[in-house]
Amino acid sequence: MSFTLLEKLTQQLQKRSEAGNLRSLKQQSVLKDFCSNDYLGLARNEDLENIIFEKIKTLPQPHLGATGSRLISGTHIYNLDLENYLAQLFEAEACLIFNSGYQLNSAILSTIPQKGDTILCDELIHASLREGARLSLANKFYFNHSDLEDLEKKIQKASGEVFVVIETVYSMDGDIAPIPEIKKLCKKYNAHLIVDEAHSTGLYGNKGQGYLIEKELHQDIFARIYTFGKGIGGHGACVVGSKVLINYLINFARAFIYTTALPLYSLVHIREAFEHIAQNPTLPQNLHAKISFFKNLLSDFKHDTIFLKESSSPIQILRVGGNERTKVFAQELQTLGFDIRPVLSPTVKSGEEILRICLHIFNNEDDIKYLTKNIRLIASRLSL
């Protein structure tokens, strides 16, 4: 019996539905936000919005859209100024802006490593980096999450130019990579380190420059990637590094060359958001206070199978396990008014399904108390 293409696709969707992990789109929720990446509340900050609109009025703006790719008609003078500003902000030789973190991550790994080279990725890196590695002609391998011994063994077996790919704050665990030790290994074996700062941009450093700069670990890194759709509350991303790296991407990164550039509004948002953080240093401080408050309330939480993973970032992970059980947990919290989403397999490994709880400066202490109280109550019911 032969199947049409649509029948084959329907079968695959049915299998996913039966496994309890069929995805669907849902409109933005009116529940209390404990799920978005808007950690500093800049995506909803009216003062920042007004500043952006006023700034745009002062700039030459011949079009609403970019009108073309960066190499044709899409490079506004403000774009070049912004890249210079970001290079100085992130203490790098040069900077290049991409339309999104996904596009940038996919581009850098599919463009820089060549056939015969080796890409070594932490097993928990973002799907966009996995996609870039998959598209590359280089050999690619994954090492156990933040496992220095496993990384060293794989570096020793690697061929060609070696690229080690990590994040500072991991989006599905909320933990922070052992950067100093990984840098030492890269130096020892002459490997090139690529670091994605997506979930630390805006949250660390006195001007929101990210974890590496705050900890003075940003030197001698081949490429650092910063995204602007999370802590910065806008859109787009940039890579900083040597002038040679940036020029190479301009000339060879197809995802950069053949896509329409960002509109002016997105560019202005990026700069004004960083300026806003620099002028309001209590923003990240308040966020980290909320993180400590949440963690302290659950410091004595104990359960046979459900536990809170260690994290000092705004991403707090409650490991529940099982697609159905994790969905039930999330649904009960949503019924209570909390917008918390389950992360199911295959996004995470089967049996390691989680609730990804994101904390923000706009989450008040009463709501955090009520949330932690109900985490305990629901967990106790699920164990019966």
Same domain, 307 and 193: no
- Domain tally for the chain? 2
Distances (CA, A) of 91 to 71, 80, 178, 236, 237: 25, 16, 21, 19, 16
Do the strands 94-98 and 237-241 form a parallel or antiparallel pair, or are they unpaired?
Answer: antiparallel
Answer yes or no: is 80 within a domain: yes
> Would you say residue 95 lies in a domain?
yes
- Per-residue pLDDT tens, the chain, 384 aa: give them: 567 999 999 999 999 888 877 888 888 778 999 999 999 999 999 999 999 999 999 998 778 899 999 999 999 999 999 999 999 999 999 999 999 999 999 999 999 999 999 999 999 999 999 999 999 999 999 999 999 999 999 999 999 999 999 999 999 899 999 999 999 999 999 999 999 999 999 999 999 999 999 999 999 999 999 999 999 999 999 999 999 999 999 999 999 999 999 999 999 999 999 999 999 999 999 999 999 999 999 999 988 899 999 999 999 999 999 999 999 999 999 999 999 999 998 888 889 999 999 999 999 999 999 999 999 999 998 764
pLDDT of residue 176: 97
**Is there a domain that residue 9 lies in?**
no
The per-residue pLDDT for 194 is: 98
- Strand order of the sheet with strand 223-227? 94-98, 237-241, 223-227, 192-196, 162-167, 118-122, 139-143
Asked whether residue 53 is assigned to any structural domain, the reply reads: no
Burial of 354 (0-12, 13-18, 19+ CB in 10 A): buried
Cα separation, 318 vs 376, whole angstroms = 11
Of 254, 278, 302, which residue sits at a domain end?
278
pLDDT, residue 2, reads 67
pTM: 0.94
The CATH number that applies at residue 291 is 3.90.1150.10
The answer to whether residues 251 and 105 belong to one domain is yes
Q: What is the pLDDT of residue 216?
A: 97
Q: Clarify whether residues 272 and 285 are in a common domain.
A: no
Give the three-class secondary structure for 173.
coil
CATH number, domain of 217, equals 3.40.640.10
Are 307 and 257 found together in one domain?
Answer: no
Please tell me whether residues 326 and 344 are part of one structural domain. yes
Domain termination residue (choose one: 278, 297, 322): 278
In this structure, the number of other CB atoms found within 10 A of the CB of residue 15 comes to 11
One domain, residues 144 and 37:
no
Residues 274 and 286 in one domain: no
The residues facing 119 across adjacent strands are 140, 163
Angle between helices 264-279 and 282-297 (to 10 degrees): 80
In a shared domain, residues 285 and 274: no
CB–CB of 272/48 below 8 Å? yes
The residues, ordered by sequence, that sit 6+ positions from 274 with a Cβ below 8 Å of its Cβ are: 89, 202, 207, 208, 232
- In terms of DSSP bridges, do strands 94-98 and 192-196 run parallel, antiparallel, or are they unpaired? unpaired
Nearest to 49 by CA among 227, 202, 234: 234
In a domain, 13, yes or no: no
Range of the domain at 226: 59-278
Examine the domain organization and report whether 170 and 91 are in the same domain.
yes
Are 253 and 337 in a shared domain? no
Query: Of 231, 259, 278, at which residue does a domain stop?
Result: 278
Is position 1 within any domain? no
Taking CA atoms, 123 is separated from 186, 198, 333, in Å, by 17, 17, 30
Single-letter residue type at 10 = T
Residue 285 shares a structural domain with residue 247: no
Cα radius of gyration (the chain): 22
Quick check: is 373 in a domain? yes
Task: Report if residue 7 sits inside a domain.
Answer: no
Considering the domain architecture, whether residues 233 and 372 belong to the same structural domain is answered as no
